[in-house]
Amino acid sequence: MCGRFNYVISEGMVSLFDEFGVEVTGATRYNLAPTEQVSIIRQTSEKPQLIEARWWLVPNWSDGPSSQYAMFNARAETLETSRAFRDPFRHKRCLIPASSYIEWQSESGQKQAYEIYANEPLLFAGIWDEWNGKITSCAMITTQASEQLASIHKRMPVMLRVEQAKQWLDVKTPSNELRHLFETKLDIPVHYQMIDNSIGNVRNKTKPIHINNNRNMSLF
């Protein structure tokens, strides 16, 4: 599962957006949490488009926003069987750009926050939907964690390289040709670093505070 991420406007983010022909809008945001507005890239009939979406999927057939079910993550294993996910998976795929994400490791009843990041911005696979012409929303696709990340959490976001992201975004790509993206592997070199647990407060919108220790490491 992924319940928090950071979105930092950097030269790398600008270059990444150039790959999709979209311009960076908005500002740097830290500790983004479910139900908040996040930036997503989706495909229109003409070209990719950068828009804001509620990070908690609201299916078009539903009665509206609800907290009954956690809809900010979509498990890759149920994309084709879930009523909420299967149509967006086929026709409404998106990318969720991020500079890093936050995960908590549980050990002996205690939780410790870690920031997971790469040497360049990340692209998470996502799906989107629109409810009643009023709310555009999204969910992040998660899969079983790779061997390298499993010690922190059993799930991880589906992280895409640029060429994979373009395949994911292309509405002409059949869904059965995308399953390989959900394999339990880590194609992107990432690092993780212990951070101060104050990040657990959703109202804390400051840059994560790194804690130096021997558990900070590169996974490649």
Burial class of 159 by CB neighbour count within 10 A (0 to 12, 13 to 18, 19+):
buried
Note the pLDDT tens digit of each residue in 184-205. 888 889 999 999 999 999 999 9
Domain count, the chain: 1
Question: CA 74, 80, 83, 87 torsion: positive or negative?
Answer: positive
Question: CA 82, 85, 87, 93 torsion: positive or negative?
Answer: negative
The pTM is what? Answer: 0.95
Note the pLDDT tens digit of each residue in 121-149. 999 999 999 999 999 999 999 999 999 89
Domain with 176, as residue range(s), is 4-218
**pLDDT over 80 (residue 220):** no
* Confidence band, pLDDT 50/70/90 cuts, at residue 25: confident
Tokens of 167: 């395949």
CATH of the domain at 125: 3.90.1680.10
* 38 vs 53: CA distance, rounded Å: 5
Compute, in degrees rounded to 10, the torsion defined by CA atoms 106, 108, 112, 115.
Answer: -50
In this structure, how many other beta carbons lie within 10 angstroms of the beta carbon of residue 91?
A: 13
